[in-house]
A and B are shown apart, each in its own frame.
Chain A
């Protein structure tokens, strides 16, 4: 019952698929063929340099079945206290849908419903960009097996003050799910969306998650992925962001769980003076591996991209960062920044950083860099001189290290909320 053998049969027979329109099912069949035609990545493939290819052997995983106790997962899906809407998916089935706080005109729908009833909108923004950072094969598998997901459409000029929260639960040993969040903001629209990725039990599982963020002119989006899978989980988180003129996307990925996490984040600065802020908070412990590949692709003049990734590595954890800034010919006066900081908390941990730059335009300002360092002894002494025990002092420093990333969010309520999540989860060996 592995992915390579049984999945296509399940596509054909699964009753949940009947909700998708015929044209999409054809798409899925094509995607399945693409998945099969593409070979597994090799270590000599540039996008998989340093990667642990054993971790992406998917042969033991199988399709999801509905969860046993949806009610308890609904109870456990509790984070932010003041929301505009909440959707909860468990093993890809929508089990909760509360959107009482949404302004008129906003569409918050299961993806299959959006495909059926808003086909044009859906087609325009659903996985339209090529997956360029290595996981094309796995994105094809995602497309082939997608059963549901969240579709968020905020029409022109509509501002949603409170966050929309979306939960993606996985349950069952070796279960596979394909979470998807598709966000489309019309001109001048504004929204905050928080995706929570969680395991109901401490089980081995596979998630291939995709999010597409599409921002119209002058739109403003805060997107946060709170990845908190079980410590045995394998997960792909594949992002594409498209930012039109003067729009501002701020996207943060927090990797709090998982055994093996592959993150790919591809930002397209399409419009003049558009801005994409790409953030990531990565506490790595045990034998966790976090492998992140990023692309800041500037197509238009006077746009800004600003990437800040903070990794704290304890025990024998491992991180990989490979990022490229590309300034296309037309993208004059680009501002592009890329900064990765590795805080090494253990001699056994390993951080690999590969920043990159390709500039085809004139008059641009680009900086990129990666640093690695240990806990600062003087900071530790200062805190101990205040009576704080060394372990707590070190944890405060690590918390502060991540706090400087949260400070980049231009939303204090969101900062405080995510800070609390970090406070609860952060328990590294320091």
Chain B
């Protein structure tokens, strides 16, 4: 196990449970800034749970291990503080918030990042918001619509990426961002994500299907099973998983374990 880089999102031997039920069982993963990693795995492998635990969802308890953001532990820190430290979670099922407009929502999120007493500059804010919306093909009148209310699946996911573009996180976890998208929506969302790639951000893309990784090409692919990473490889691993399924990885992993 390599030492966590000071410029990475680093998950060290993480164990977590919901109630009495263990979900993560010693998961280790290091996502350096500038890289895009993908986690693939069957339903029930714990992928979405991992995303929620990193964001600090109150339903889950971390029993051991650590999550380090640029070398500092974020466990025990409130979800909003984690977000302001630079962590972003694109939700698989974004919440609808009746009566709260997208413009006011993102504005509140940006305002929360400013020092006390400092006001967000409205003109600059809207200029930036509109340019990001245009890039994601989100109609401008969406600013006055309530967050996610009545949105199609594709609109919700575009709205998640819009928030990510506005908040400029250092690390982003994208939880099944492809679910519920048709191919056109998938292309738009992927282009939006790719536009944000760069040396100042590390991304973790959680997906069920290899399809997304045709558009968001990862630097590394990890296979998750029963709460652990059981195999890692380059982008070609995704293609192999698509063609051959997960059984061979699980077999290899079991064999490796019994050999130890």
Contacts and interface: CB of A to CB of B under 8 A. Distances in A.
Nearest to A390: B80
Contacts of B16: none
Interface string B35-61: 000000000000000000001111000
Contacts of A399: 99-100
Contacts of A392: 108, 112
Given A381-B58, A387-B113, A404 B78 contact: no
Most A Cβ at <10 Å: residue of B55, B57, B88, B98: B98
Given A384-B83, A389-B80, A403-B100, A378 B95 contact: yes
Contact of B80 (A387, A401, A404): A387
8 contacts: A381-B58, A382-B91, A382-B97, A384-B79, A385-B55, A396-B97, A400-B100, A404-B146
A106 interface: no
Interface string A354-388: 00000000000000000000001111011111111
A397 B112 contact: no
A382 B57 CA distance: 9
B249 interface: no
B104 interface: yes
A349 interface: no
B100 A385 contact: no
A421 to B, nearest CB: 15
A384 B99 contact: no
A7 B5 CA distance: 82
Contact of A387 (B83, B95, B101): B83
Contacts of B170: none
Given A392-B108, A400-B146, A385 B97 contact: no
Given A386-B83, A402-B99, A407-B99, 4 more contacts: A388-B108, A399-B100, A400-B100, A403-B100
Given A386-B109, A402-B99, A396 B104 contact: yes
Nearest to A423: B104
B91 A401 contact: no
B80 A393 contact: yes
B162 to A, nearest CB: 12
A400 B97 contact: yes
Interface in B52-100: 55-58, 78-80, 83-84, 88-89, 91, 94-100
Interface string B232-243: 000000000000
B130 interface: no
Contacts of B209: none
A382 B167 CA distance: 14
Nearest to B109: A386
B84 A387 contact: yes
B100 A384 contact: no
A401 B98 contact: yes
Contact of A386 (B96, B101, B146, B167): B167
Interface in B198-223: none
Interface of B: 55-58, 78-80, 83-84, 88-89, 91, 94-101, 104-106, 108-109, 112-113, 146, 163, 167
B95 A396 contact: no
A388 B81 CA distance: 8
Contact of B99 (A385, A387, A389, A403): A403
Contacts of B80: 383-390, 393
B83 A404 contact: no
Per DSSP, chain B at the interface is mixed
Contacts of B99: 399-404, 406-407
A38 B53 CA distance: 65
A403 B98 CA distance: 8
A390 B108 CA distance: 12
Interface residues of A, number: 26
A358 to B, nearest CB: 31
A401 B109 CA distance: 19
A383 B113 contact: no
A386 B163 contact: yes
A389 to B, nearest CB: 5
B58 to A, nearest CB: 7
Nearest to B101: A403
B97 A381 contact: no
Contacts of A397: 97, 100
Contacts of B57: 381
Contact of A385 (B83, B101, B104, B108): B83
Given A388-B108, A396-B105, A396-B108, A382 B98 contact: no
A290 B88 CA distance: 41
A379 B97 contact: yes
Contacts of A381: 55, 57-58, 79, 95
Contacts of B94: 382
Contacts of B112: 387-389, 392
Contacts of B84: 387
A387 B167 contact: yes
Contacts of A377: 58
Nearest to A405: B99
Nearest to B79: A384
Given A392-B112, A399-B99, A402-B99, A385 B105 contact: no
B81 to A, nearest CB: 8
Nearest to B106: A386
Nearest to B54: A385
Most B Cβ at <10 Å: residue of A381, A385, A397, A404: A385
A279 B100 CA distance: 19
A384 B84 CA distance: 9
Contacts of B167: 386-387
Contact of B109 (A378, A379, A387, A407): A387
B156 to A, nearest CB: 12
Contacts of B163: 386
Contacts of A393: 80, 108
A303 to B, nearest CB: 28
Contacts of B109: 383, 386-388
A382 B95 CA distance: 7
Nearest to A377: B58
Nearest to A310: B99
Nearest to B89: A385
